[in-house]
């Protein structure tokens, strides 16, 4: 592997982790099968590929002209959008259901649940994984127990647990904090996903074996957390006296008539014939069934028809038919904002993502596993909801672009803006103020302890000042950059769009709020963790050490060919060999870590499990030895200084020592040199 490729692998692994572990940004979701970054250091979104479905392939909604939402119009619109989107994005299949006025208005399937067998996607009979949309059932279960007086949203969660998570001497973590993703937890990757039922562990075991460190004081900084949602599910289990999966089945699924929905893993045998295959792309083989260890955060398998019944219950104040899932006051409370936010910014609503689209409240939750990608959105004032789920990532992660396009078109087609939004006017001080928000940022949803933290050294979100004084930042789930202008003090709005960024200082840290993502924020990166610095250190160190290792045998054979002796006394041989061996050790140590993170490139998150603790521990111990190796290199440079008089040789030896010190820097700052196995 070339030096450039090795450096790129590390950076690419980070990017994939960002896209996978933190897809919350812009999609109102969080990867449940993998730590998402969705998680999102920099909230890097997967770009829509060339040829992904766009309005060019479906009848585009005319500006401010509302189409009547009928079954016939929905069918015509989706028939124009989805078949092309699936084909061009190499996505196997999708299901859609739409609810309106207390009834299922439309439901259909597109493409295949099994490509080889050509089994069609059937909204009644084909189950898909809904990822983090599962959380809505967990939060509904919590609200049922709140309604019964068995849970208090503002009480210390430790009172409901048989272990402690709240920090001593500080404000405790509450259930409301968990709903708002303000528990303060660091993200985690280890043991959250498995493909092997024999290694699958219960949520209780996971929660107790892998406690997440607190990055923030409870209630202060949003940081999307699957761990927090899993805690809530475990609390439901302890308080109700029923296993969590059985509680949801008995009190939500079966009473609502959701006969083909389950949290249970592995999938019960009676559902196996109904389950859609999951694909990376439609043109590649199907993948194993994903086992989500933080089950309350994302393990549900369901049909579009079943999810339509849940939509109807939520749209009808918690009631469907004769079953009252929630009483009216509790249902209204659940759908109301549970935190404050600047005007125009999205908020959390007791587990729902809450925003205003085209002047209307929209609540919902997206969801992603590695292979399945889902959206669940309600317009309560309109009595309308839409659910859709895809069973493939698609070519170049095409599903993200298609998923966003479907929701955007649905809202703009059937619920357009009453009046055209006026283009924002910049403040007179906008050009001068742009530098205030410019900088490098990382998401509050991140891993800060253990070796995964190295990714956050290599790439961050960049907000910069454009040549015209605007603010430039990457778009959400689309290729390209967005330009924003300051429309109010420390508030910037996208030109030609509605997205806004607000600059704040939280706990002494420069922080950027994104109107499209209330579940996390961007925090300024300390100078010593800036990506340009650390990429330069990493790339320079690897270049110097690799060249030294490559030239070592070359020099030997050249001298042997020309029968030339070394230009210094024999006693210099030992420090010279020590220096070269140290360089080789540094390269091998880094290659070892590259191999350890390569599974991220294939989204093989199940690789990161306790089974590989010996590998990670070996690399960590090797990092400790690297400290001694670097010290030996410095000693060798000092010794050789007396015998090697060529300034170029001295410079070369000094660069080798500097390269080793550079690796030590990356190891320490990036968590590669540590003893943490909880990552």
Collapsing DSSP to helix, strand or coil, 183 comes out as: coil
Q: Report residue 450's pLDDT band, with 50, 70 and 90 as the boundaries.
A: confident
Per-residue model confidence (pLDDT) at position 449 = 87
Q: Tell me: the pLDDT tens digits for 529-570?
A: 999 999 999 999 999 999 999 988 877 677 677 777 666 666
Cis preceding-peptide flag for 214 (omega within 30 of 0)? no
Does the pLDDT at position 21 exceed 80? no
**Using an 8 Å Cβ cutoff, are 133 and 334 in contact?**
no
Write down the pLDDT at residue 235: 98
Contact (Cβ atoms closer than 8 angstroms) between residue 123 and residue 95: yes
pLDDT reported for residue 420? 74
What does each C-alpha distance from 349 to 76, 155, 219, 310, 516 come to in angstroms? 33, 18, 15, 17, 14
* Residue 42 confidence class, pLDDT cut points 50, 70, 90: very low
Q: Say what percent of the chain tops pLDDT 70.
A: 89
Residue-wise pLDDT for 600-657, tens only, equals 877 888 899 999 999 999 999 999 999 999 999 998 888 887 776 677 778 888 999 9
Give residues with Cβ within 8 angstroms of 399, minimum separation 6. Answer: 89, 91, 373, 390, 392, 393
Model confidence pLDDT, tens digit, residues 59-110: 444 556 889 999 999 999 999 999 999 999 999 999 999 999 999 999 999 9
Please give the sequence-ordered ranges of beta strands (E in DSSP) within 121-214, or none if there are none. Answer: 128-129, 193-194
Task: Say if CB 125 and CB 302 are below 8 A apart.
Answer: no
Dist. CA 180–CA 221, nearest whole Å: 10
DSSP code string of 396-449: GGHHHHHHHHHHHHHHHHHS--SSPPPPPPPPTTHHHHHHHH-EEEEESS---S
Query: Could you tell me the two tokens for 598?
Result: 């390569």
Q: By percentage, how much of the chain surpasses pLDDT 90? A: 76
DSSP-derived secondary structure letter, 339: S
pLDDT tens across 245-271, in order? 999 999 999 999 999 999 999 999 999
Mean pLDDT of the chain: 88
Q: Supply 585's token pair.
A: 């050790």
Between the alpha carbon of residue 357 and those of residues 16, 331, 515, 623, the distances in Å are 29, 21, 12, 51
User: Of 257, 249, 363, whose CA–CA distance to 306 is shortest?
Assistant: 257
What lies within 8 Å, CB to CB, of 348 at 6+ separation is 179, 180, 181, 222, 337, 338, 339, 354, 518, 519
pLDDT at 601: 75
Task: Please give the pLDDT value at position 40.
Answer: 29
> How far is residue 656's CA from residue 335's CA, in Å, rounded to a whole number?
60
Cα–Cα distance, 397 to 489 (Å, whole number): 37
Q: Structure tokens of 254?
A: 């079966």
Concatenated DSSP letters for 464-490?
Answer: EE-TTS-EEEEPSSSSSEEEEEEEETT
Q: pLDDT tens digit string along 365-378?
A: 999 999 999 999 99
- Measured from the Cβ of residue 220, the count of other Cβ atoms closer than 10 Å reads 14
The per-residue pLDDT for 644 is: 67
| Whole-angstrom distance, CA of residue 674 vs CA of residue 171 | 30
Q: What are phi and psi of 355, to 5 degrees?
A: -150, 170
Q: Within 10 Å of residue 283's Cβ, how many Cβ atoms? A: 11
Determine the Cα–Cα distance for residues 527 and 390; give it in Å rounded to an integer. Answer: 41
Q: Quick check: helix, strand or coil at residue 164?
A: coil
Task: Give the start-end residues of each E strand in 31-115.
Answer: 93-100, 103-114
Res 111 pLDDT > 60:
yes
Give just the sign of the alpha carbon dihedral 507, 509, 514, 518.
negative
**442 CB-near residues (< 8 Å, 6+ apart):** 41, 42, 456, 460, 461, 522, 523, 525, 529
CA–CA dist 548, 152 (Å, integer): 63
pLDDT tens track for 333-342:
999 999 999 9
Q: Could you give the C-alpha distances from 598 to 142, 188, 546, 608, in angstroms and in order? A: 39, 18, 20, 11
- Residue 347 has φ and ψ, to the nearest 5°, of -135, 170
SS3 592: helix
What pLDDT shows up at residue 304? 98
Tell me what pLDDT residue 567 has: 62
Nearest to 137, CA basis, from 272, 258, 293, 241: 258
In the prediction, which pLDDT does 65 show?
Answer: 82
Tokens 């209330």 found at: 518
What pLDDT is stored for residue 16 in this prediction?
A: 33
Rounded distance between C-alpha atoms, residue 344 and residue 37, angstroms = 26
Who has greater pLDDT, 474 or 512?
Answer: 512
- Can you tell me the distance from the alpha carbon of 631 to that of 644, in angstroms, rounded to the nearest whole number? 20
Contact 128, 134 (CB under 8 A): no
pTM attached to this predicted model: 0.89
Through-space distance between the first and last CA atoms of the chain, rounded to whole angstroms? 27
| Signed CA dihedral, 652, 653, 654, 658: sign only | positive
Mean pLDDT of the region 476-484 = 83
**Residue 565 confidence (pLDDT):** 64
Mean pLDDT to the nearest integer, 297-303: 98
Is 422 a residue whose pLDDT tops 90? no
Predicted confidence (pLDDT) per residue in 123-150, tens digit: 999 999 999 999 999 999 999 999 999 9
């Amino acid at each position: 592997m070339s030096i450039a490729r090795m450096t790129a692998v590390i950076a690419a692994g980070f990017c994939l982790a960002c896209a996978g572990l933190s897809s919350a940004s812009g999609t109102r979701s969080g990867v449940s099968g993998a730590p998402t970054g969705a998680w999102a250091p920099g909230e890097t979104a997967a770009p829509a590929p060339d040829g992904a479905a766009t309005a060019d392939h479906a009848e585009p909604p005319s500006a401010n002209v509302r189409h009547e939402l009928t079954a016939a119009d929905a069918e015509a619109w989706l028939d124009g959008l989805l078949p092309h989107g699936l084909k061009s994005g190499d996505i196997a299949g999708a299901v859609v259901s739409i609810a309106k006025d207390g009834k299922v208005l439309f439901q259909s399937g597109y493409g295949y649940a099994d490509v080889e067998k050509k089994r069609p996607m059937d909204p009644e009979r084909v189950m898909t994984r809904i990822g983090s949309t599962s959380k809505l059932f967990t939060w509904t279960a919590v609200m049922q127990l709140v309604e019964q007086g068995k849970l208090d949203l503002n009480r210390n969660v430790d009172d409901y647990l048989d272990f402690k998570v709240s920090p001593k001497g500080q404000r405790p973590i509450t259930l409301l904090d968990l709903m708002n993703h303000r528990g303060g937890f660091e993200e985690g990757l280890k043991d959250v996903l498995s493909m092997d039922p024999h290694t699958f562990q219960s949520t209780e075991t996971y929660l107790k074996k892998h406690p997440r460190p607190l990055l923030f004081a409870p209630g202060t900084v949003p940081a999307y957390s699957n761990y927090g949602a899993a805690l809530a599910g475990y609390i439901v289990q302890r308080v109700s006296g029923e296993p969590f999966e059985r509680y949801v089945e008995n009190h939500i699924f079966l009473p609502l008539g959701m006969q083909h929905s389950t949290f249970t893993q592995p999938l019960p045998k009676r559902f196996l014939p109904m389950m859609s295959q999951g694909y990376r792309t439609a043109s590649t083989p199907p993948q194993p069934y994903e086992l989500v260890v933080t089950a309350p955060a994302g393990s549900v398998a369901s049909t579009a028809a079943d999810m339509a019944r849940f939509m109807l219950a939520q749209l009808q104040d918690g009631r469907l038919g004769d079953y009252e899932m929630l009483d009216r006051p509790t249902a209204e409370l659940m759908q109301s904002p549970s935190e404050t936010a600047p005007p125009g910014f999205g908020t959390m609503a007791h587990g729902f993502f809450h925003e205003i689209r085209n002047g209307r409240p929209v609540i919902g939750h997206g969801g992603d596993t590695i292979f399945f990608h889902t959206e669940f959105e309600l317009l309560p004032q309109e009595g309308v909801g839409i659910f859709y789920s895809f069973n493939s990532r698609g070519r170049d992660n095409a599903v993200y672009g298609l998923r966003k396009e479907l929701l955007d078109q649905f809202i703009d087609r059937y619920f357009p803006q009453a009046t055209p939004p006026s283009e924002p006017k910049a403040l007179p001080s906008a050009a001068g103020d742009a530098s205030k928000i410019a900088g490098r940022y990382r998401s509050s949803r991140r891993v800060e302890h253990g070796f995964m933290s190295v990714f956050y050294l290599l790439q961050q979100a960049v907000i910069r000042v454009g040549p015209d004084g605007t603010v430039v930042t990457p778009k959400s789930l689309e290729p390209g950059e967005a330009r924003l202008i300051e429309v109010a003090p420390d508030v910037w709005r996208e030109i030609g769009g509605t997205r806004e960024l607000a600059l704040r200082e939280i706990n002494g840290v420069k922080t950027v709020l994104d109107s499209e993502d209330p579940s996390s924020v961007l925090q300024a990166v300390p100078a010593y963790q800036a990506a340009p610095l650390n990429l330069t250190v990493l790339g320079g160190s690897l270049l110097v050490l690799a060249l030294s290792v490559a030239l070592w045998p070359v020099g030997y054979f050249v001298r042997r060919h020309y029968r030339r002796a070394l230009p210094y006394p024999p006693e210099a041989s030992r420090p010279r060999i020590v220096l070269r061996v140290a360089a080789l050790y540094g390269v091998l140590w880094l290659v070892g870590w590259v191999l350890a993170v390569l599974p991220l490139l294939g989204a093989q998150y199940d690789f990161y499990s306790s089974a590989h603790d010996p590998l990670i521990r070996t690399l960590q111990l090797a990092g400790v030895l690297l400290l001694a190796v670097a010290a030996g290199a410095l000693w060798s440079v000092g010794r050789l200084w007396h015998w090697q008089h060529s300034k170029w040789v001295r410079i070369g030896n000094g660069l080798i020592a500097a390269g080793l010190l550079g690796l030590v820097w990356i190891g320490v700052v990036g968590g590669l040199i540590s003893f943490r196995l909880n990552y």
